Structures are given as structure tokens and as C-alpha cells.
Structure 1
Amino acid sequence: MSKSFLALVLLDTPATPDMVALAEAIRARHPELPMEVEGGGEGSARRGSPLIRCGDELVAVMSMPAPIPEDPGLWSRASTLWPQGKAIAAQHQGHLIVSVLGQNQRPLPTARLTTAVIGALIATMPQCCGVVWNGKVARPADLWLDMSSRSFAPYPDYPCSLWVDILPFRSETGIGAVTMGLSAFAEREIQFETHKLPLGTMINKVDGLAVYLVEHGAVVKDGNTFGGDARERFTVRHKNSDQFGGLPVLFCSDGSAQ
């Protein structure tokens, strides 16, 4: 499975990053990551290059002097964890596009690297006010600055919640949660419905399965089960969601518990 992510860093005012300062910030935050700025010596040519080399990968950072396209659904989803997001999005004046270049990208390493670069951008640019991950998940800049420091942490401690949203909803029989953004790692989202579990427990179960799939990819097949122990197992079904516009999901519910 190959995947290149596209991240948009919202700016209060248009600005171009200093790539040398960005390189220094990446080295300070992630000293284990070999990297350099593409494009000549340490002078203006390097500062003007939009590319930074991290290990064997090239990351592009492009400055755009305009707001990102409007997406009401994105900001509606973001409001659960970021109530101010819609207002900030309405006021921002520029953005940065950040993406790892090349073919046959592996999702998790690509997400880790992109996240590390974005965290360093936020650390060096006070204009940064938010991040939109792959068109699906919006989070505030201060949360990204904090959580991106764990970009290369071992499973399960990397910042999965920057890449995957978990959205609660009311179902016909109780409550549910659906993910947004997981399909980039595992080909499908999760839709979990329950009439037995409290909200917090349900969210924890969805989060645990989501992080597992971010780590391992599309390994859960139709009819597989998951759960904490033999007394509490949920059967997973591959289907197109009846509630979310035919979204391909891994569907789980109390009614399929074994």
C-alpha cells in the first residue's frame, strides 16, 4: 500500500519559512532523524529552497498566500475538540502545503515524517494557527506543537489523534462512533455502535483498534474479532455505512458480540 499525505498549515498572515531555521528545529526536536536542506550552500539558495531532505525522503514545504478552500464539513467535525477552529479558519490569510515526495510511500513512516516537519514549522513560525491533515482532520497549532514531539515514538505512543478523528453519534439503539482519516492507513474507517457501553469506554475501544490499524494496516478481515479478552469480543464486518453516505467501514456492534 502506498500513500502520500497532504497537510495544510494555516497561517494568520502569509509567510515563507526559513528552511535553515526549520532544519535546525527538526534537528533539535528529533536528533535521531538525519536531514539537510536541498539546494546548495548555507546561504540564500538554501533558504529559498522549498525542499528538505530527511533521511532518504524529500519533504516539500510550499507557501501559499491565500486561505485554504472552504470545507464546512471539516470544521463541523473539528468543533468537538476545537470549538474555535471554524472562526480561526475564517480569519487565516495564508497556508503552507507540506508533503513527502515520491512514489510507494508507506503510510505510517510518511505520517511520522510529515508530522515531525510540521511540528518544527510551528516551532519556528508564530504565524501558524492550525493544521488540516489530509483534508480530514483539523487541529490547533499548539496541540500539534506538543503532540508532534512524539512523531517517532514507538507503538502505540505516536500522535495518532492528529491523523484520525473519532466522532461520536447517536444510533438507533444507543450511541456510536465513526473514524475519519483511518482509511488512509487501513483502507476503511471504523463504525462502532453500542447499547451497552458508556461513551468513554466506546471511544477507548475505537481508539485502540484505530491505533492498531495505523500500525499494522488493513489486517482486519471480514468476520475477524477484536476485544480486550475472550469474554468481550466484537465481530468486524466489512460494509458500506448506511449512516455515512456509503463510507467503506469496519462495522462493529454489541449485537455482534461473541
Structure 2
Amino acid sequence: MSKSFLAFVLLERPVAPDMMALATALRTRHPELAKEIDVGAEDARQGSAGGSILRCGDQLIAIMSMPAAIPQDPGLWSRASRAWPEAKAIAARHRGHLIVSVVGRNQHLLSTARLMTAVIGALIATVPECQAVVWDAKVAHPADLWLHLSMQSFAPFPDYPFPLWVDVLPFRFQKGIGAVTMGLTAFVGREIQFQTSRLPLDALIKKVAGLAVYLIERGCVLKDGDTFGGDERERIAVRYKNSDQFNGMPVFLCTDGSSYY
């Protein structure tokens, strides 16, 4: 399981952020952080090396400007294009990127994700060249969605912006429909693969999203062989498996009564 996160902010052209403007935007967008944010004098000058440090309380956020495109990942952009038709075009034409990470190891994952998301939102608010964000090499979304949802960075459970960190992707299989997450492994070591012959697609997506945010909040509380559900009539079985459909990745295989394996 990942002990931290790495985000790439794709740029139309290479630029270095104005760190003072970033800090001001972060304070404005998230007043609860206002007294914790500090930018050192050297970082405020946008040094030629392209790297800067923002301090927020006891956390250090590193931001590095890179004058090149990120390596292409066709699978990432194919997934993103399901809901975002322009994804592949943005990926092909960007000419620079910002790397955003939290300095140090063994950080609390949810707290780190919240803070990084807030900082990325402030970056997008102050750097017009921002086109998209790739979160932890797994999830890609357009900059305007990040600008909007990142305002919820410090919202209480379950309203924080987990869709920026975890995708929920529908699929079909022989006996019905399913949905699989992408990005949850960083939080709890596995993805969710939910298969059903009973639920309509919208209910399935809602159920998987709800389970994902619950696991992000509580940790890996589902054990192999557990069941869960809203009442006794809705009992969903959970198995630890390596997915048959998705290249053997470790999943919580969730089924709602029929035999799938």
C-alpha cells in the first residue's frame, strides 16, 4: 500500500507557480488553514530549479515545475475518456507539468489527500495553464472539476472529494453488470469489484462509491468472508481475490447473492 501520494498537474505550457499567489488563494479558499500556511523567501522567488516548498502546519508540500509532458499511459486516458471525452486530446497536447507531493513518509493518508487536494485546487485557481490533474498515476480529471470539487477538501465524511482520488468504472459480465474502483488501493490495499444481477446501474455505482468512501474513512475494515448490507434481506458477500477480469489486481469481490466464482 502506498504511504503517500503523487499528483501531476498537466500544463498547456511549462510555468512555475507564483507561491505567494498560491498561498493567498489557499487561505481564501480554505480559511481554516489561514494561520498555518507559510512560504519561505527563497520559494516565493520561483527559483530557476523549478522546485518550491509550501508549509502548512507541520506538513511540507513540495511543488516542482517540469518543462516536459508526463509519460503517456494509454490505459489511464482510456479510463478517463469514458466520462471526459477530451481527455486523450489534453494528454497529447500538454507541454509541461507540476509535480505535487507531501514531504516525508508514513503520513496519515486521508489527511495527506485532503491537504494535497486543497493545494492543487489553489494551484489551478492561480495558474491559468493548468489543464488536468493525474492523481497517483491512477485517476485523471479535468482542471475545472478539480477546481470545483477541491473546495470540499476538508468537508466531513462522507462529503470530501473522494471522486478525485478514486474512479468507479462500470462493466458487464456474463450474469449481469459490475463496477470496479481505481485508486482505492492506495488507501486500503485493494480495489472494490462489485458484481450484481439485481441492481440497476445507478444504484450499483452509488453503492460502490459509498463503500469506497467508507473504507477511505475507516480503513480496511472488510475482512475476507464478511457480509454487509442495509438490512437482513440485503446481504452482500465479500471475498479477497485477485480479479479475473482486471489483470489479477487484488480486490474486495462483492456479490449480492448469486454465485459468481
The AA in structure 1 aligned to 2:245 is Q
Following the alignment from structure 2 to structure 1, what is the Cα–Cα distance between the partners of residues 27 and 184? 29
> Contact 2:169 / 2:181 at 8 angstroms: preserved in 1?
yes
> Contact 1:168 / 1:178 at 8 angstroms: preserved in 2?
yes
- Render the CA deviation track for 1:199-254: whole Å, top value 9, x for unaligned: 00111110010000111111111111222222212011111111111110000112
1:196 Cα offset (Å): 1.0
1:49 Cα offset (Å): 5.9
Aligned to 1:178: 180
User: Which one is further off, 2-11 or 68-77?
Assistant: 2-11
The AA in structure 1 aligned to 2:160 is Y
Aligned to 1:196: 198
TM-score by length of 1: 0.95
> Contact 2:61 / 2:103 at 8 angstroms: preserved in 1?
yes
1:40 Cα offset (Å): 5.4
> Contact 1:136 / 1:180 at 8 angstroms: preserved in 2?
yes
Aligned to 2:15: 15
1:35 Cα offset (Å): 1.0
Confirm or deny that 1:96 pairs with 2:98: yes
Following the alignment from structure 1 to structure 2, what is the Cα–Cα distance between the partners of residues 256 and 4? 37
Following the alignment from structure 2 to structure 1, what is the Cα–Cα distance between the partners of residues 62 and 231? 44
The AA in structure 1 aligned to 2:23 is A
TM-score by length of 2: 0.94
The AA in structure 2 aligned to 1:25 is A
- Render the CA deviation track for 1:159-212: whole Å, top value 9, x for unaligned: 000000011011110110110000111110000001111000111110010000
Following the alignment from structure 1 to structure 2, what is the Cα–Cα distance between the partners of residues 195 and 45? 55
> Contact 2:18 / 2:46 at 8 angstroms: preserved in 1?
no
Aligned to 1:44: 45
Following the alignment from structure 2 to structure 1, what is the Cα–Cα distance between the partners of residues 207 and 114? 23
Following the alignment from structure 1 to structure 2, what is the Cα–Cα distance between the partners of residues 165 and 209? 13
1:1-258 equivalences under 5 Å are 3-33=3-33, 34-39=36-41, 44=45, 50-255=52-257
Count of residues in Structure 1 that have an aligned counterpart in Structure 2: 256
* Structure 2 unaligned spans of 5+: none
